[in-house]
Chain A
Amino acid sequence: MSLPVDESGLPAGVVDELRRLPAVDPAARDRLRVALAGQHRPRGTIVLSPLQAALAACALVVATSLVWIAGTSGDRVSAHRDAAMAARDGVPVIIGAGLTPVQFVLVAPEARSVALVGDFNAWTPDASLLTRGEGGVWSIVVPLTQGTFAYSFIVDGAEWRADPRATFTTDDFGRPSSLLYVSPET
């Protein structure tokens, strides 16, 4: 006598049993934290197989060349590259690839200078200075990757202003900021 089989050809019930997920141990998070606390792997360590290690040597030459090419494109572009890299969680960016030009505008007729600071330039005050237009309309175009960015304007080196046309972010430091989302559809 043969066992009944299902459409997979295996005995009935075997596939269901294989598909059933193991129960999640609620204590797993605590064990993970203990394990992490005991780890002393130096930051940035990468484990590669012998084949990957050999290929990584070739990749290093390519990567170094790309970084050198990007770095020789001028201070403003270099600042934007650093800013774009700072904005993402460890994902590198080459200027021109996957960037959206975003215009920031602030109406401040009384201002002598307006700077743009945010996640995209590591909150560095002199990295992105706006240009004054007619009627005291200050503006700048910044190439950004897709993602969320907190930012603010600094008027005359002292007054911090959120963007009145954007969503505000949590004011953690007594100086207002705004939130921008550059979507993949932008």
Chain B
Amino acid sequence: MLKTMIRSTFGALLALLATAAGTAAQDRLAERLDSTTLRAVEALLDRATADGIAAGPLRNKALEGAGKGAAGPAIVHAVEGLYLRMDAAKRALGGKATPDEQVAGAALLDFGVDTVALATLREAAADRSTTSALVGLAFLVQRGVPASRSVPLVRRMLEARATEADFATFQKLVDEDVRAGLPAAGAADARGRAIIRHGASLRSREQPEA
């Protein structure tokens, strides 16, 4: 009886706080968007929630558009585009893809990495989060490392059980190498191999292994 009361209290408290926060975020949308755009965005948010797509990033995309002074139709188009990419990423990464994985996967799809690659990385990660790996992969692709090279590299790192901290270190080291004049693909290969072998104990002063 006591456990039930405690659980009920905790659940009610969380529900109230979550409703307050969600209402606050919704109020911000209402302040920044005209009524037509707001209705269209809210319909997309409702559809996303029903389909298991995280609504927060979609709401943030609408606020981003408002902050950048975009017109209503452009905002709706952007939110819809993100919804479709997140939906495709969620299907490729599996039904239990977290909101962060949906966002990171959506970014990759927009930069030319396909859903087969996402599914491959999901398999390599097993039950671990893929978010850091996906963000790191997007970083490589944007720096000019072709997906045909960067996807297998990231897959091998996941298979070697590289952690989220490993991927954060990897991205930082590759960025430093590129700024020092090394080609991105070569830096990624070298740093990736080292991470697989040694994990995050590498320090930035170390030169990439041959």
The residue in chain A whose Cβ has the minimal distance to the Cβ of B104 is A148
- Find residues 135-177 in chain A having any chain B CB closer than 8 Å to their own CB: 147-148, 150, 160, 165-170, 172-175, 177
Task: Give chain B residues whose Cβ lies under 8 Å from the Cβ of A92.
Answer: 17-18, 20-21
Of B11, B65, B107, B165, which contacts A183 at CB under 8 A? B165
Report 5 cross-chain contacts, Cβ distance below 8 Å, ordered by A residue. A48-B15, A59-B9, A170-B81, A173-B69, A179-B135
Secondary structure of the B contact surface, majority rule: helix
Q: How many A-B residue pairs have CB under 8 A?
A: 165
Contact flag A165-B175 (CB < 8 Å), given A89-B54, A181-B131: yes
Task: Give chain B residues whose Cβ lies under 8 Å from the Cβ of A49.
Answer: 8
- Asked if A55 is an interface residue, CB under 8 A from chain B, the answer is yes
Known A86-B25, A173-B69, A181-B135; further 19 A-B contacts with Cβ < 8 A: A46-B19, A55-B8, A55-B12, A56-B12, A59-B9, A59-B16, A63-B17, A85-B21, A87-B60, A89-B54, A89-B55, A90-B18, A91-B18, A123-B63, A125-B67, A167-B171, A172-B64, A181-B100, A183-B164
Question: A175 touching B68 by the CB < 8 A rule?
Answer: yes
A residues near B (Cβ < 8 Å) are: 29, 32-33, 36, 43-44, 46, 48-49, 51-52, 55-56, 58-60, 62-63, 66-67, 82, 85-92, 117, 119, 122-125, 147-148, 150, 160, 165-170, 172-175, 177, 179, 181, 183-186
Question: B8 touching A90 by the CB < 8 A rule?
Answer: no
Of B25, B142, B165, which contacts A185 at CB under 8 A? B165
Of B20, B81, B104, B142, which contacts A172 at CB under 8 A? B81
Question: A167 touching B138 by the CB < 8 A rule?
Answer: yes
Question: A44 touching B22 by the CB < 8 A rule?
Answer: yes
Question: B78 touching A172 by the CB < 8 A rule?
Answer: yes
User: A46 CA to B11 CA in the complex, in Å?
Assistant: 11
Question: A88 touching B56 by the CB < 8 A rule?
Answer: yes
